[in-house]
């Protein structure tokens, strides 16, 4: 019998189709999902996480195009002064007829920048890409979560086919869930910004801290929402109800995973400031993938212990 050829880290066939070679030699499906095993599983599946990160970027490319249109990178733009004092200083310089002091201030505040101009055409394309993003966000998250769940469980994976299998199986629910998810996240972020700008009011201050708490709770809930979608046949209201219960019961794991995610985002942000190409490369290749993997790793044990194991225990008792 011929020996199998050695497969290296950069074997693209392994990246897209084959199981990890260590998983073939050692089945860790029964290993406890603790912190030390997290790093072991993360390193073992690094190539897969990079692939799923690319799925996430390409699947949500409509959002990036919308940002480019809104930022003026795509579409017409005009020049405008960056300082709000430019107008008054320019008027004063015309009246003073060349005052050295005013001209000096005018030179400081006369820097210009490109400002996007939203024409009817660019607004139409902006709306189209935002709607496209809203329709594809849920299915993309569903396909990636299905792969991430199998990765955490230690099951065989065929990422590309599994990605589309999960989407086709849950297409209608995933679209609705994705839109609801985006609306909730937008409302929470908008509420934080709005109440923060009105902290001088005691009532708005109370609403601000309540919104912070609701945002933290929903961040915990999101770790469970898409996993339950690809695991159980539940209505969307029941998914949110169970996610709320699990978010509270699994608060310890959820909080620890959130700290890790915040640390990763901070490192990515600092790299973008220090050396933009390296920070951008990390975001394109790893950041979203590690965040989604961390969420699944934190959520799956609680789902298994509270929603799956009791079912099999009752089934075995009923058979006896």
Residue 254 host element (H or E): helix 251-274
The mean predicted confidence, pLDDT, of the chain is 85
Q: Rounded to whole angstroms, how far apart are CA atoms 231 and 314?
A: 19
Q: Rounded to whole angstroms, how far apart are CA atoms 96 and 86?
A: 15
Per-residue pLDDT tens over the stretch 157-187: 899 999 999 999 999 999 999 999 999 999 9
Task: Work out the average pLDDT over 49-78.
Answer: 87
Look-up of token digits 């490369």: 281
**CB burial of residue 246 (10 Å; 0-12, 13-18, 19+):** buried
Helices (H) and strands (E) in the chain, counts: 16, 2
Within 10 Å of residue 188's Cβ, how many Cβ atoms? 18
The confidence score (pLDDT) of residue 33 equals 78
Residues paired with residue 77 on neighbouring β-strands, in sequence order? 116
The confidence score (pLDDT) of residue 200 equals 85
Percent of the chain with pLDDT over 70: 84
Task: Work out the average pLDDT over 294-317.
Answer: 83
Confidence of residue 316 (pLDDT cuts 50, 70, 90): low
What's the Rg (C-alpha) of the chain? 25
The gap from C-alpha 157 to its chain's centroid, in whole angstroms, comes to 22
pLDDT over 70 (residue 23): no
Look-up of token digits 């159980």: 232
- Which of residues 136 and 119 earns the better pLDDT score? 136
pLDDT over 80 (residue 251): yes
Residue 24 tokens, joined: 């073939």
Q: Rounded to whole angstroms, how far apart are CA atoms 41 and 47?
A: 11
Which DSSP string do the residues of 155-222 spell out, in sequence order? ----HHHHHHHHHHHTHHHHHHHHHHHHHHHHHHHHHHHHHHTTTTSHHHHHHHHHHHHHHHHHHHHH
CA quadruple 294, 35, 15, 302: dihedral, nearest 10: -50
Per-residue pLDDT tens over the stretch 74-96: 777 777 777 777 777 677 777 77
pLDDT over 50 (residue 241): yes
The confidence score (pLDDT) of residue 303 equals 93
- Which of residues 234 and 100 earns the better pLDDT score? 234
Query: Phi and psi (nearest 5°) for 115?
Result: -120, 125
Look-up of token digits 């201030």: 105
Q: Rounded to whole angstroms, how far apart are CA atoms 167 and 139?
A: 5
Q: Rounded to whole angstroms, how far apart are CA atoms 49 and 53?
A: 6
């Amino acid at each position: 019998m011929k020996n199998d050829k050695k497969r290296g880290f950069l074997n693209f066939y392994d990246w897209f189709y084959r199981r990890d070679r260590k998983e073939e030699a050692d089945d860790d499906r029964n290993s406890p999902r603790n912190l030390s095993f997290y790093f072991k599983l993360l390193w073992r599946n690094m190539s897969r996480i990079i692939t799923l990160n690319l799925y996430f970027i390409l699947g949500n490319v409509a959002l990036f195009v919308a940002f480019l249109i809104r930022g003026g990178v795509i579409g017409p733009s005009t020049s405008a002064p960056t300082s709000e004092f430019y107008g008054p200083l320019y008027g004063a310089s015309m009246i003073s007829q060349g005052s050295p002091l005013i001209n000096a201030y005018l030179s400081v505040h006369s820097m210009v920048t490109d400002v996007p101009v939203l024409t009817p055409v660019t607004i139409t394309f902006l709306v189209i890409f935002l709607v496209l993003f809203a329709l594809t966000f849920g299915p993309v998250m569903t396909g990636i979560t299905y792969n991430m769940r199998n990765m955490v469980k230690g099951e065989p994976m065929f990422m590309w086919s599994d990605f589309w299998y999960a989407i086709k199986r849950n297409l209608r629910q995933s679209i609705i869930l994705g839109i609801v998810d985006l609306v909730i996240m937008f409302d929470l972020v908008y509420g934080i910004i709005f109440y923060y700008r009105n902290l001088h009011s005691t009532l708005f201050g109370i609403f601000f801290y309540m919104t912070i708490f609701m945002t933290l709770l929903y961040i915990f809930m999101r770790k469970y929402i898409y996993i339950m979608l690809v695991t159980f046949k539940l209505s969307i209201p029941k998914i949110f109800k169970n996610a709320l219960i699990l978010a509270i019961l699994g608060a310890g794991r959820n909080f620890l995973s959130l700290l890790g995610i915040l640390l990763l985002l901070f490192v990515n942000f600092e790299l973008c400031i220090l050396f933009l190409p390296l920070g951008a490369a990390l975001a394109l290749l790893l950041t979203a993938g590690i965040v989604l993997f961390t969420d699944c790793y934190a959520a799956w044990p609680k789902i298994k212990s509270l929603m799956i194991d009791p079912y099999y225990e009752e089934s075995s008792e009923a058979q006896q």
